[in-house]
Amino acid sequence: MYTISKRFTFSASHIIEGLPAGHQCSRLHGHNYVVEVVLAADRLDAVGFVVDYGELKPLKQIIDGELDHRHLNDVLPGPTTAEAIARYLFDRARALWPQAVAVRVSETPATWAEYRP
């Protein structure tokens, strides 16, 4: 199995709903998010790639067009946690590339959330 990944970044604000009063994440705040899409294949293409990194630009366009410098509560249909963002972007990536196997989202240098079906 061959695996590749590509990293993207965006900045956005959010409020996490449903938390106890006083939880810091229930207040309006923002992150400089890091996103990694992971793609895998048993066989390489004729060139020797899982997917040409250059073909992953549409995910950057989705991130820039839908999430960057937005208030995520206005954009996402449900929760705005890193886990939910990972699922949202995984669904978008999988629709573009059947080789997509996971999306990871980081809000801080110390934390990652991943969606992998």
36 is catalytic: no
Annotated catalytic residue: which of 17, 25, 29, 83? 25
Written in H, E and C, the secondary structure of the chain is CEEEEEEEEEEEEECCCCCCCCCHHHCCEEEEEEEEEEEEECCCCCCCCCCCHHHHHHHHHHHHHHHCCEEHHHHCCCCCCHHHHHHHHHHHHHHHCCCEEEEEEEEECCEEEEECC
Annotated catalytic residue: which of 23, 29, 55, 69? 69
25 is catalytic: yes
114 is catalytic: no
Which residues are part of the catalytic machinery? 25, 69, 107
